[in-house]
Each structure stands twice: as structure tokens, then as C-alpha cells.
Chains A and B, each alone.
Chain A
Amino acid sequence: MIPACPLAALPRGEAIRLDADPPIAVFHTEDGELYAIDDTCTHQDASLADGWLEGCEVECPLHASRFDLRTGQVDAPPAKAPVRTHRVVVEDGTVYVEPSDLPPNLPPGVRSRSA
């Protein structure tokens, strides 16, 4: 499990990017839910933590494909592949992320540091 941040440092409506490999975005929705997905859009190199959060969806800041934070699914092109979702746990006021062990769908031209 990766410690993300104190829960108090992530208000509702905000997101943070974790410097994992590949990076992970953690969102705190207006409804108070916490979700984690891969931070890099599957279309091109854009950080979804910089995107527009609406309900349980985040809109990519570059070309506006929307990803469902619960499933990782994308609604419409240009992104074609889903992002991975990661489990989020809060313990003693700290947000932790348990990274998925599936392979990530990184966009062409972007490689994970370990690969």
C-alpha cells in the first residue's frame, strides 16, 4: 500500500497525483467518496488529476474524454482504452492506495519507468 496524503489535505472536489510508476490520481468527490485511477490518460500524455471532476467522472484536461472513477471505463473517443482503478483505504486519517496488479494502458510514446 502506498500512503497518499492525510485525508484532511484532500478536500472534496480535489485530486492529487501520486508519484508512483506509473503515476496514480486520487480523487475526493463532492459526495465524499475516494477513488484512485491511473493518472495518465490512455490517449496521450495528460494528467487526469488536472482534469475536471464531475460526480464520479473525470474529464481529461486535454481532449475531454471522460473516465468513470468507479470502473475506469472511458465514455467516448479520442481515448479508446480504460484506465486501471486502484483500491483506496483510509486508516487513522491517512489515505492509502493499493495499486492494481493488472498491466496499465499507457498511451503510445509513454513508457513506465520500470519497463
Chain B
Amino acid sequence: MRSVAVVGASLAGLSAARALRAQGFDGRITMIGSEPHRPYDRPPLSKEFLAGHLAEADLVLEADGEDLAAEWRLGAAATGLERRSDGFAVPLADGTSVEADGVVIATGAVARELPWRLGGVHTLRTVDDARALRADLAGARRLVVIGAGFIGAEVAATARTLGLDVVIVEVAPAPFARALGPRMGAVLAGLHEDHGVRVVCGVAVRALTGDGRVDGVLLEDGRRLPADVVLAGIGARPAVEWLEGAGVEVGDGVLCDAGGGTSVPGVVAAGDCASWFDPGLGRHHRVEHWTGAAQRPATAVSTLLSGGTAAPDQAAPPYLWSDQYGRRVQFAGHAGPEDEVTVEEGDPDARSFLAVYRRDGRTTAVLGVDQVRQFTRWRRRIEPVGAR
């Protein structure tokens, strides 16, 4: 293999380029990115950057002087993936095309949008989104966050800290229930209520109101929440449309084996766009967290460079962290709806505790809130569901 095209120049793409060089690849690397920016870090966008504590320069992922000897094609989206007799061609939106022997798909995910187009309605995925949201929050009094996922919760916490009135609306009966289960979801909702944020659950949004600019959120039960700014935190879909017709199998993201290999030899995928087979779960699972996008590209790259013969390392259980109101939330593993949850340290009412999820005697997941040291120890006890 003499040339590799990395499509998507963010965390997973940069991590793939680093892994290529670290694993001895000295051929041509072309980094293709639809955003005009060099790779930057997204987690601060809902936290310190939104709060104004970090500048754009603080988000840069590359180290000073780091040189991967790559060619950068930024500001040009890939529009397809074509197979050639001797490799691949990736056509770009600017009419040019990049040829390569191997391809790493790292196009991440795109924020889902509400069907109503009004001023003051935001999603948050890119630094440009964050800048726009920050500017809008600066002149606003009331924020409604639609969707109680992590990004929505972090924006709620940051906006509250900036002094806004904040309401979170969630259609599910409990917030964060899908990720954390209903009991711990309720504890995190309590953290928001402690800080004067209202959490409205079990009701859908019927419409946004306003003439040109949003002025309220109308709920299915007839209630209307006044709003100067609305954030839709309703999840992200994998950015895989550009692969249509390429022969790469796609489900909820690019379907990969346990080493990141796709259905097309010479093409691997990692990060938020990819749904790897999880041997522990016995199914494909798309992980949308920073650590997966930072670590799994190295496995995908060894799959690519070995032509699929390298036995993949067992992927670490999914891990995420979140900062809300100065509390550090950490979660690792897969929580199931039937899991038994016990608090092993601290006290949920004090918003500082460690909870362990178990199924059939196995530790499946660990949640820590302001219990970093205990979390560091407990997360190592997680056993994949299929183990033993």
C-alpha cells in the first residue's frame, strides 16, 4: 500500500494519520475534510468554549510542530468513493479527485435538526455552530433545550452558569434514560434542578412558534414555553450519504468488523461514523464518544495495513465524560434496562457518588459523578456481556 486517503479531518481522521505513521507507513497520506479548519476538539464546544473560557486556538488537536507529512485538502467534501482496478478514487466537491490504494472513513456525525427553520434555533456540532450559539446566548434571557442527551445537558448547564433561565424538554419519561437507565437518569436530572433548571419529561414538542425568530416552544400537552433561543440536542446521524453506491455496507453508520474493516477490502472506518461489531454484545454498535474516536483508528489502521490479517485488539468498553455545573460525570460500559444498579461510594443526593451496573453478577457499566479516583479503579472491572 503506497497511498491512503483519510476522509474526515477531525479526531478520528487525525488519530488514523498518527497511527499510520506510528505503524511505519511512509507512503502518501491525503487528509480530506469538508470543514475549512484543521482538526479541532469538539467537547469544549458545549463547555468551556461556549462559556467563553477557551479560545479557538485552545481547541487545536495537533501539537506544536507536529508534522505527519500529509497533504491536506480542507474545505472540500468527498462526494463519493469509486473503485478502480488498482485502488480507489475519492471525488471532491471542488471537482478534483484524490486517488489512493487504501481509504479510512472518518466522516463522523451530523447534528439532527428540527423541522422548523427560525432564527434563534440552533444545533451544536461544529466550532461555527458554537460561535453562533454563543453570540445568540449573549443577548438572550430564556433558553429551551430540546432533548436531554449529554450535549443538551451541557449546553443547559453552561447557559445556566451564564445566568439564563433554562428549561430542558425530553420526550422520554426520564432524561438520560437510554444511556444511564431511569434511576441514574433521574439523579442527573436532579443535578439540573438543583441549579434551577426545569426538566420537563414525557412530552413531545408540537411546534416552535415565532415570526422569523423563535419566541416559544409549544408542547403536545398544550403548554407553551417562552424562548429567546432554542437548542436542539436530539442526537446525531452518521455522515455516510456520500458513500451511496460505493458498495460499502451501511446500517446505523458504516458496518465494520471488530477491527474496523468494512465490507470492501482496502477500506476501514472509525469514529462516530462507524458501527463496529462488538463481540461482547454480539451485534454492531456505533460509539459516539471522544475516546473511541481517539483510540479505535489505530486498530482500523492495523487492519488496513495488514490487509485484514491482523487480529484486532479487544476494543475497550465505551467511555464518556461530561462536565456539568463543575461536576465531572464519567460513564463506561453498556447499561442495559434490566441491570441492577447499586451505589458503591458517596451519595446520589450529594451529587457525588459511584454507581455500578450489574447483570447476572457481571459488572456491565460504571457511572461516577465527582468520584474520579474511584471511577478510575471501578471501570477496570467491567466485563463484556458475552465474556465467560
Contact = CB atoms under 8 A, between A and B. Distances in A.
B161 interface: no
B372 A109 contact: no
A63 B319 CA distance: 10
A77 B328 CA distance: 21
**Residue among B61, B328, B375 with most chain A CB within 10 A:** B328
8 closest A-B pairs by CB: A108-B58, A50-B373, A50-B372, A80-B63, A61-B376, A109-B53, A61-B372, A52-B376
B376 A51 contact: yes
Nearest to B374: A50
A51 B291 CA distance: 16
Interface residues of B, number: 23
A7 B330 CA distance: 31
Contacts of B48: 109
Contacts of A46: 372
23 contacts: A46-B372, A47-B372, A49-B373, A50-B373, A52-B376, A52-B380, A61-B330, A61-B375, A61-B376, A62-B321, A62-B328, A64-B291, A64-B295, A77-B61, A77-B63, A77-B294, A78-B41, A80-B63, A80-B64, A108-B55, A108-B58, A109-B48, A109-B58
Interface string A68-94: 000000000110100000000000000
B18 A77 contact: yes
Interface string B43-65: 00000100001110010010110
B290 interface: yes
B374 to A, nearest CB: 9
B61 A50 contact: no
B307 to A, nearest CB: 26
B53 A78 contact: no
A61 B294 contact: no
Contact of A63 (B53, B63, B290): B290
A64 to B, nearest CB: 7
Given A52-B380, A61-B373, A108-B54, 12 more contacts: A50-B373, A51-B376, A52-B377, A61-B330, A61-B375, A62-B328, A63-B294, A77-B18, A77-B63, A77-B294, A78-B61, A80-B63
Contacts of A50: 372-373, 376
Nearest to A15: B373
A63 B18 contact: no
A51 B376 CA distance: 6
